[in-house]
Structure 1
């Protein structure tokens, strides 16, 4: 019968001590309570001088603890009070404390002599005889231990058994009530969370309804501007408007979907062309993507947000501008994309704020934080972006995507 709980945690020790003291007063016997290992968990009640002296030595205490552990286990196996003789030959009774079929400990009482000699000593030892020779007063203490009729011992252990059963039932009821209270609190929190999610869903649905209307409106405006550029003979402006239209169309089309790395890179090049038109020779870029990973599907906009950060916070503030290098390859079971710039870099403190979502006033920085949260939730915590940066040298962002995960996604979507 294995132990799966702590007696101190499951039963009120103050109540146990009070019950033990009252029983000791009523019966005149010694009482103590031990855990399932035989170790006392509270103060002794009415111990005789002989037993106090025996437990005052290391070997004597060890003998008593081992005897209690053995007797408690015997009582637990029988699920009844177990009467035995301790190594000193005194009669003790172990009443098991069993809760939910788990043996937690036992209440012991006795330290007496009785007229019934049928009980064997639970553990033979010559330690007592050695102690008698060393300490003559110990023999006197032993001789003064009172005799008690065995029928009275039986009556007492019947009473103790009733008390223990009542105590266990009370503790079980308390445990059930605690579980009920915990489940009620958990249910209330779950209901609150559900209401919160329902509100968020309503807001999201509203945004999704508004998105097509907003995009149609934006496309109409862009078409008007494009026609105006054509009338005014401004081909470069018209080209930028077409590129911007492609960018918006790509973004809107892939909301909530996965895209291939090849599609994402094509969209990124469109974005980089727009930025190159804006910054001229100050912004340069190089793209080197392994053909083997171009058909692998990933979440859209992840790479674009990193590149946006590199341009806005890395290269744009630098007077002479710089270069973004985008490289993609396979490493073991992952597709690796590195985005490296030679911009102004990020300080340790700023990087800490970004990675912990504390740059509230900086939308682009929050995008980096959100990317990490999305990657961790979608692929696992080990797939967060690895960002290395040095001030006035540049920043490298390393992203990885699990091939096995994406291959499964590809199969399910083909």
Structure 2
């Protein structure tokens, strides 16, 4: 084993993931560390299941589209044969690429149409897989706005440069931990955090908005009814609430009202494929919680749990107060979390998935480490996610 390989192994054995966990919690797009041959060393954020099962040569090795672009020099952004946006950034030591940071593996809003051009039957025949499995894996590939892909590229570039610095320190036999962040890191982290603060409320998937508007348009075309009026009012209130530029504590009641509007619109879309129930006692509603904490969990239950089921399912939101604590539960009878998410949950350094970890982090920031988000269960009978908060918070912002 040469010196570079030894350094790489030492760095991998260190707390590399935890060093960047603060930044990683701001993005749920894939981000991986690989060696010069295309073998996966560490998944900061996991790749989509489609990329892992359909495209990669094996579980620990990248697809041929990536491997063909592993060249020393400047990084690049490219579109793979299936239309996904990808990022490749080399980690250089003495003009030698000792590894790469890669990421994205998403559709842009401009290229999303290519999702529907993928030949599912041809892939099923080639890979000897069920077409339904392939269709489901394609449906879970994210579509991301261009500006967010650019921010993610900056994050990847920052991590690549700092890993390069770590390597240099290790090669020079420097064992002491890095005591400070570079100016570039501080500026980038501030930029991303500022962006997150401004857009903290914009967590509704834009495709939901597009689908909703289409639903309203169809209804308006065929009938001039009270239903149309209610949909428009609900959407207006939903957007107004989500666009509030703050990160303050809101009442549980206002959060639930917002979620009820969201579920009402989804019910119009999915009709009898979606049932929902909200059971929050009046004495619980005045208590306060960070804004937009519950809604993303409900949306996750709908997207990953209910939507993939042919017959749909039910989402239930309930809460109970015990002594000085309140527990809010989001329960669905869907398919459970995707395999990639469950795998990430099983990793010791990633107790929660990226999106959930961000939510958990916000709750702990307000209320303390004993509170937060817990995935109680997730299997083929459904998922249960709970939020615990104190009845009398002593906000720690």
TM-score bracket for this pair, using the shorter chain length: 0.3 to 0.5
Q: Which has a greater percent of helix?
A: 1
Scaled by the length of structure 2, the TM-score of the pair is 0.45
